[in-house]
Amino acid sequence: MVVIIKTGETFLSLASQRGDFEDWILAGMGLDKEKATIIDVCNGSPLPTYDGISGIVITGSHTPVTEHKDWSERTAEWLPGVVERKIPLLAICYGHQLLAYAMGGKVEDNPNGLEFGTIDVKLHSAAKKDLLFYDLPDSIRVNVGHCQSVLRLPPNSRLLASSEMDQHQAFVVGDCAWGIQFHPEFDAKTTIEYINNFKQLLREGGTNPDYLITNCSDTPDSAKLLKRFVQIVKNPRPENESSRPVSPDATG
């Protein structure tokens, strides 16, 4: 069973036309909504027990982690159990920050300002041996939209990717719990909609939103991560196996 932990909702204008975070994530993974369980924690849904869960995705949110909402804190307390049980976890944007916070890292407003649009992310050497990132190019294009960042990674985590404005774009903690600050589920149209909704704040921070919009694009390398995650969920690595990557050819 794949579980989507829904930690927020997109803008109503966008949701009415294109669906919400969980819809984009499931579409990117190639999964029908009926084959996943959506846990809407931000609206009071209780977190599940760990039994029977094959994989977990945490969505983005418009709520800052530093507001320490009750539902957010409950989810943070639940996450170490996921890591300990080696349940594959993909935590996106807010989820990335929440995973870092839950495992002992530090999250605050990004001192470099808001990061929106389509940007270049450079992969570190650890990514070449990582189950999720192993065969991606050294630099990939990704779509981003966030105000807060992970300023300190949790202990015993491995840094996988960085951008000019955010050193911690991706990390992994334990065997298979990934945090990614960028949005593999965002296409160019969704990214542009986010820029339009944050135009004033971007201008106040000295960024030209119109320039960001003209440089938006789809990000196929980033989007691959969603299907790759499904492959990992379907073919978990045996306990005694080394950290070699899973071959897509072997996963069907």
Return the active site residues: 93, 183, 185
- Provide the token pair at 102: 């839950």
Mutual angle of helices 94-102 and 70-84, in 10-degree steps: 70
Please state, in angstroms and rounded to a whole number, the distance separating the CA atoms of residues 104 and 88. Answer: 19
Of residues 167, 169, 132, 171, the one with CA closest to residue 154: 171
CA angle 45, 4, 60 (to 5 degrees): 95
Phi-psi category of residue 128: left, alpha or beta, with phi > 0 → left and psi -120 to 50 → alpha: alpha
User: Tokens 């065997």, residue?
Assistant: 175
Residue 59 is inside which H or E element, if any? none
Please state, in angstroms and rounded to a whole number, the distance separating the CA atoms of residues 201 and 147. Answer: 10
Please state, in angstroms and rounded to a whole number, the distance separating the CA atoms of residues 89 and 215. Answer: 31
Please state, in angstroms and rounded to a whole number, the distance separating the CA atoms of residues 184 and 162. Answer: 15
Please state, in angstroms and rounded to a whole number, the distance separating the CA atoms of residues 149 and 224. Answer: 23
Please state, in angstroms and rounded to a whole number, the distance separating the CA atoms of residues 169 and 120. Answer: 11
Please state, in angstroms and rounded to a whole number, the distance separating the CA atoms of residues 123 and 170. Answer: 9
